[in-house]
Chain A
Amino acid sequence: MSLLEVRDLRTHFFTRAGVVKAVEGVSFSLAKGEILGLVGESGSGKSVTGFSLIGLVDPPGRIAGGSIRFEGRELVGLPAQEMRALRGKRIAMVFQDPAATLNPVLSIGQQMALAVRAHGRASEAAARDLAARTLTRVGIPDAAARLDAYPHEFSGGMRQRVAIATALLHGPDLIIADEPTTALDVSIQAQILAEMKSLAKETGTALVWISHDLATVSSLADRVLVMYAGRIVEAGAVGETLRAPRHPYTRGLLDSLPAMARPGEKLNQIPGTTPSLLSLPPGCPFAPRCPRADATCATDPPDVVTAGRLVRCHHPLEAS
């Protein structure tokens, strides 16, 4: 049985201007210990998907339909208390900016002790001990002594390690990582990536890695989901999908990477901008920006599944 089964997830924001369908019919599954990359531009619904999994969609948003099964248990519509018992214990989350996530006026030890005690009684000493051991695991030297330090006394990379350690405290089965390296220096990014990967493999923790950075995802993930306007447009094993993308959008994302371009050549951008989720065109939402679009694209694109890969397109690129 897979760890996580998401079926037709729809998370909508009921704003005054109308219903924003931030996530519209997303389905995927995740095996124990698997690392899944969730890729897309800003506003593609990748973060909202992450928050839906952990039950933290802010109002006016809510899960409007679909199913999230975690170890066979339905999370959509789960009472708040039961959802809270899962959060931090079985499903944890790490955010983008560690400077904003850690509380500046509480010491690292105090914050981690709160997270320890959120799931059962623990003595002061036991909570500190668990915190120190977890900090050591994420590569913070002299952790026991640093428990009394405050977030501003750590560097950005160290802060993110503290946040990751907080997520790891109870040995969760699933960690949702929402762009956790975006706010860090490139050299630190690589370190954190390598550490996250080895921690996940070592503990058997599954990882949903949300990122707009294809390079990060390609070095980390086992599988990748590409999202556009709240939908999955392409999914597959990370190597194949990024080497030979079949959806024109994935192709466009890859072409706009500087690393893919030849020196001196202009970068290939995807023309236009992400559409407003309030006024999506009928059919394929990417059609207005797509070089391969024609009249058929005004109808909903089919899911084309071949050899474990999914592409949602009327005119997919040929698999090479």
Chain B
Amino acid sequence: MLGFIIQRLLQAGLVMLAMSALVFLGVYAIGNPIDVLISPDATQDIRAAAIRSFGLDLPLWQQYLAFLGRLLSGDFGRSFVFGTPVIDLVLARLPATLELALASVLIGAFIGIPLGIYAGYKPESPAARGIMAVSVLGFSVPTFWVGLILILFFAVHLDWLPAGNRGPTAEFLGVQWSFLTREGLTFLILPALNLSLFKLAMMIRLARAGTREVMLTDTVKFARAAGLSELTILRRHVLRLISIPLVTVFGLEFGSTLAFAVVTETIFSWPGVGKLIIDSITSLDRPVMVAYLVLVAFLFVTINLVVDLSYALLDPRLRRGGRAS
């Protein structure tokens, strides 16, 4: 197990190295940040001084190596635009996105999995058909539209929930969180619901497909022959048997929501990293873009590692180096 973790950590390091190089190169190709940062009527001397101060006069490979060198000492560089350390900028925004992403994935899982299991258990029932219709909608209706409708209905029409922003937060472990205050929670609900719709649809489909398959197996027949109630069979046998694909998708969805909740964050003016990256792209704020994308790679690698480790927890056949029969 330890060997497995070490191997995965080395892989993770390589992935992030490759990611940083790609991002550095890609961002370099987008355009020259100086054109955006300095007013066109600045003198040549001012231009040259600015270019030198950002280290943009060096060849690309030297800029990259310098970036890597600083990275190893934990320094992501300073934002061209704000002049503050990038890491502070990103970390100030990350908790907002983190709780939004987590809330949406949890809503998707806790509502989607039971609905999906039911739809797989009684596939011909009208309720199951209704559930599947919801999941088709969840897949096909665009996020931004649903977000606007949610705002229109719950914020404007009913005036139950705030239309945007993050609202009050409370500190926990040195970080500001919305879900810890009652009012903060009301700000979290709409964007989290908006983001969760796609995940909900995904969880429903996965749980349904798995359940349909498992219900036909002898394991379920044998459990029935032992007199187990249908609810016990679904909760104790079926849920465990279908959990591996569910956990996989849960992890992937959590990762991609963390990285790409941009649309929802924009609609609900949620001050998360998604908005930060969009702003940094428009202003060609290269250090922020690079740091953010490397961080995203890190999150994905970490989440995948956790998912892999949880497989062993869920399926005993994968433990002890996969001594399966």
User: Chain A: residues with CB nearer than 8 A to chain B?
Assistant: 54, 56, 84-89, 92-93, 95-97, 100-107, 110, 114-115, 118-119, 150, 152, 163, 166-167, 169
Contact = CB atoms under 8 A, between A and B. Distances in A.
Given A85-B227, A88-B228, A103-B241, 14 more contacts: A56-B225, A84-B227, A95-B218, A95-B222, A95-B225, A96-B218, A103-B219, A105-B317, A107-B316, A114-B226, A118-B229, A150-B317, A152-B324, A163-B222
B158 to A, nearest CB: 43
Interface string B154-175: 0000000000000000000000
Contact of B225 (A54, A96, A100, A119): A54
Contacts of A56: 221, 224-225
Given A101-B221, A103-B237, A106-B236, A84 B229 contact: yes
A101 B224 contact: no
Given A97-B218, A118-B232, A152-B325, A104 B315 contact: yes
A119 B227 contact: yes
A152 B319 CA distance: 11
Nearest to B317: A152
Contacts of B232: 114, 118
Contacts of A119: 227
Contacts of A169: 226
A104 B316 CA distance: 8
B14 interface: no
A85 B225 CA distance: 10
A84 B226 CA distance: 8
Nearest to A166: B226
Given A88-B226, A114-B236, A115-B228, A101 B317 contact: no
Contacts, number: 87
Given A56-B221, A101-B218, A103-B219, A152 B227 contact: no
A118 B221 CA distance: 14
B217 interface: yes
B107 interface: no
Interface of B: 217-219, 221-229, 232, 236-237, 240-241, 243, 314-317, 323-325
Contacts of A54: 225
A13 B34 CA distance: 77
Contacts of B243: 105
Contacts of B226: 87-88, 92, 114-115, 118, 166-167, 169
B269 to A, nearest CB: 44
B316 A100 contact: no
9 contacts: A84-B227, A87-B225, A101-B219, A101-B221, A103-B237, A104-B241, A105-B241, A114-B237, A167-B225
A244 to B, nearest CB: 36
Contacts of A101: 218-219, 221-222
Contacts of B316: 104-105, 107, 150, 152
Contacts of B218: 95-97, 100-101
A100 B236 contact: no
Contacts of A89: 227
A92 B237 contact: no
Nearest to B320: A153
Contacts of B240: 103, 105-106
A167 B228 CA distance: 12
A176 B318 CA distance: 33
Given A103-B237, A103-B241, A105-B316, A95 B221 contact: yes
Contacts of A118: 226-229, 232
